[in-house]
């Protein structure tokens, strides 16, 4: 493709918030979406906003990785006419199938529950049929290979965040844009190392932890281990809300390490949830070639491990009173089987809850993290007497130094850096740090903001006439 006459990028998500990653690239008449995530937490009502352009007019979607806040909106696009290919790595496609099927069911349930609770009838954002219509659109890409997407080059490079996660470098004519996707630390405990993509004229970088450094302790996860020891001593149960994809696997890996080192007693470990178990199957599929060479299946399973697949398996756990560790999704306690465990176990001070991931504003996980005395679950307020512990070592997002290093390793200076995927204050602080340390133009864009990807003068006439504008969002009661 020669350099387009007009080329813009619109921030349709992960701007002003951490979730909802969606970046619309308009290259002359072509429209390409980079990631298609749903909003979570306080912003979730915006998922209901009309998509600012006709989804049928998108030619392609490129995906960085399979987390819901990067793929969960795909079936909504398909429901409203999108039929183009969705490009992603093989491992991302395998995980996206799991995530989207689960999400289709959750969307249907949420609509049904809302109606049952007396709210006006509302169609789900999408349903399982939309999900099944989405899956055949996936196209697998090779790592570090220029993929020809109808005249545009795109290249996926390992970002060591979750299985299959990538940064995506896009080139059209003599211009280029680099999307960091979500970036892991320099080294991931189970995945192959992060690699450096080619530099670009315009760079988007995530900033989830752009304001902090992760701990680097001599004894990994000691707070977690100590919580397990204390809880087992007092006869309690440890509940670990964990994202089904990636976090369940890294938690299991950490428990195996602790157990092998004799740092925790031999205690039953239950992974509760079909989605977590399907994720585990993909993670332990060695044919994908995504794990570090020294990692084997035993590094996830060498425990007194029970896999609770069916809801009957899950309900049986209610009858077990002995100390154990229950790992269950969702990671921010916004849905899934973990809610039932929390409802039952939060009121007892012998128990503990170990939060293992980023807790977005407005989620139950965040409320627990901030010391809520009660939380609302399934329409009831539940007393919080269990011990709440936050293990920050599990982050699969780089800290501020990891993010800076990623920028510094690029082989060219960016003309502009856009800092996305962070809470507003954090994104702004990190943008300032980039300007201070590298002297580059760095900005935290606003939701709905449009930028030019060309290097000549800005002419507002060149903008896509249908360019979306942020709109007031509908309100949807939280259940
Ligand atoms: Zn992610």
Name the residue with higher pLDDT: 409 or 109. Answer: 409
CATH number, domain of 443, equals: 3.60.15.10
Does residue 314 register a pLDDT over 60?
yes
What is residue 81's predicted lDDT score, i.e. its pLDDT? 97
How many whole angstroms separate alpha carbon 198 and alpha carbon 154?
Answer: 11
Same domain assignment for residues 88 and 180: yes
| Omega before residue 330 within 30° of 0, cis | yes
What is residue 434's predicted lDDT score, i.e. its pLDDT? 97
CA 165–ligand 1 middle distance (angstroms): 8
CA 64–ligand 1 middle distance (angstroms): 9
Same domain assignment for residues 343 and 405: no
User: What is the pTM for the complete model shown?
Assistant: 0.87
Other beta carbons within 10 Å of 137: 17
Q: What is the mean pLDDT of the chain?
A: 92
Same domain assignment for residues 341 and 453: no
Q: Give a yes or no: residue 229 inside a domain.
A: yes
Same domain assignment for residues 201 and 232: no
How does DSSP assign 72-103, residue by residue? TTHHHHHHTT--S-EEEEHHHHHHHHHHHHHH
Q: Give a yes or no: residue 472 inside a domain.
A: no
Cα 139 from chain centroid? 20
CA 99–ligand 1 middle distance (angstroms): 12
CA 443–ligand 1 middle distance (angstroms): 21
Q: Give a yes or no: residue 194 inside a domain.
A: yes
Which residues have CB under 8 Å from 164's CB, separation 6+? 65, 66, 88, 89, 90, 91, 92, 93, 94, 95, 288, 290
Which residues have their alpha-adjacent CB atom under 5 A from ion ligand 1? 67, 182
What is residue 479's predicted lDDT score, i.e. its pLDDT? 30
pLDDT tens for residues 84-106? 999 999 999 999 999 999 999 98
Name the residue with higher pLDDT: 113 or 153. Answer: 153
Q: What is the CA radius of gyration of the chain?
A: 22
CA 151–ligand 1 middle distance (angstroms): 28
pLDDT tens for residues 245-271? 889 999 999 999 999 999 999 999 999
What is residue 216's predicted lDDT score, i.e. its pLDDT? 82
CA 199–ligand 1 middle distance (angstroms): 21
Length of the chain: 479
What is residue 334's predicted lDDT score, i.e. its pLDDT? 86
Range of the domain at 241: 222-394
CA 420–ligand 1 middle distance (angstroms): 13
Q: How many domains does the chain have?
A: 2
| Mean pLDDT confidence for 191-217 | 94
Does residue 444 register a pLDDT over 70?
yes
pLDDT tens for residues 452-466? 999 876 565 555 555
How many whole angstroms separate alpha carbon 9 and alpha carbon 47?
Answer: 20
CA 182–ligand 1 middle distance (angstroms): 5
| Mean pLDDT confidence for 314-330 | 91
Does residue 475 register a pLDDT over 50?
no
| Mean pLDDT confidence for 136-152 | 97
CA 19–ligand 1 middle distance (angstroms): 9
Backbone angles phi, psi at 380, to 5 degrees: -120, 145
What is residue 468's predicted lDDT score, i.e. its pLDDT? 53
What is residue 1's predicted lDDT score, i.e. its pLDDT? 73
Write out the H or E segment, with its range, that includes residue 326. strand 325-328
CA 95–ligand 1 middle distance (angstroms): 12
| Mean pLDDT confidence for 157-184 | 97
Same domain assignment for residues 170 and 318: no
Does residue 467 register a pLDDT over 70?
no
Same domain assignment for residues 151 and 11: yes
């Amino acid at each position: 493709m020669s350099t387009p006459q007009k080329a813009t990028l619109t921030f349709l998500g992960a701007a002003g918030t951490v979730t909802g990653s969606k970046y619309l690239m308009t290259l002359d008449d072509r429209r390409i979406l980079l990631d298609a995530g749903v909003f979570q937490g306080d912003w979730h009502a915006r998922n209901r906003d009309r998509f600012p352009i006709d989804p049928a007019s998108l030619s392609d979607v490129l995906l960085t990785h399979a987390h819901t806040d990067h793929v969960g909106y795909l079936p909504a696009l398909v429901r409203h006419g999108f039929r183009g290919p969705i490009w992603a790595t093989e491992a991302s496609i395998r995980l996206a199938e799991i995530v989207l099927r689960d999400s289709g069911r959750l969307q249907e349930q949420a609509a049904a529950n809302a109606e049952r609770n007396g709210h006006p009838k509302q169609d789900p954002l999408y349903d399982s049929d939309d999900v099944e219509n989405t899956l055949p659109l996936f196209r697998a890409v090779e790592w570090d290979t220029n993929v020809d997407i109808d005249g545009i080059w795109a290249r996926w490079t390992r970002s060591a965040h979750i299985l299959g996660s990538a940064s995506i470098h896009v080139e059209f004519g003599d211009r280029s844009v680099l999307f960091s996707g979500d970036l892991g630390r320099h080294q991931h405990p189970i995945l192959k190392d992060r690699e450096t993509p080619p530099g670009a004229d315009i760079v988007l970088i995530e900033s989830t932890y752009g304001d902090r450094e992760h701990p680097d302790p001599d004894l990994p996860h000691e707070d977690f281990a100590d919580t397990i020891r204390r809880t087992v001593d007092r006869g309690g149960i440890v509940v670990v809300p964990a994202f089904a994809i990636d976090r369940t696997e890294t938690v299991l890996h950490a428990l195996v390490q602790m157990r092998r080192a004799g740092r925790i007693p031999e205690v039953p470990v239950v992974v509760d949830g079909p989605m977590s178990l399907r994720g585990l199957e993909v993670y332990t599929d060695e044919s994908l070639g995504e794990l570090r060479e020294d990692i084997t299946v035993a590094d996830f399973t060498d425990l007194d491990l029970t896999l609770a697949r069916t809801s009957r398996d899950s309900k049986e756990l209610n009858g077990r009173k002995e100390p154990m560790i229950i790992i269950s999704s969702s990671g921010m306690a916004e849905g899934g089987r973990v809610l039932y465990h929390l409802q039952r176990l939060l009121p007892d001070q012998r128990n503990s809850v170990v939060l293992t991931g980023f807790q977005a504003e407005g989620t139950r996980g965040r409320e627990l993290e901030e010391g809520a005395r009660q939380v609302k679950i399934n329409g009831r307020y539940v007393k919080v007497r269990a011990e709440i512990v936050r293990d920050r070592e599990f982050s699969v997002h780089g800290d501020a130094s990891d993010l800076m290093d990623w920028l510094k390793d690029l082989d060219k200076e960016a003309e502009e850096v856009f800092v996305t995927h962070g809470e507003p204050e954090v994104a702004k602080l990190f943008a300032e740090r980039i300007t201070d340390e590298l002297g580059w133009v760095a900005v935290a864009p606003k939701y709905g903001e449009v930028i030019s990807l060309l290097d000549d003068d800005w002419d507002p006439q060149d903008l896509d006439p249908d360019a979306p504008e942020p709109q007031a969002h509908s309100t949807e009661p939280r259940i």
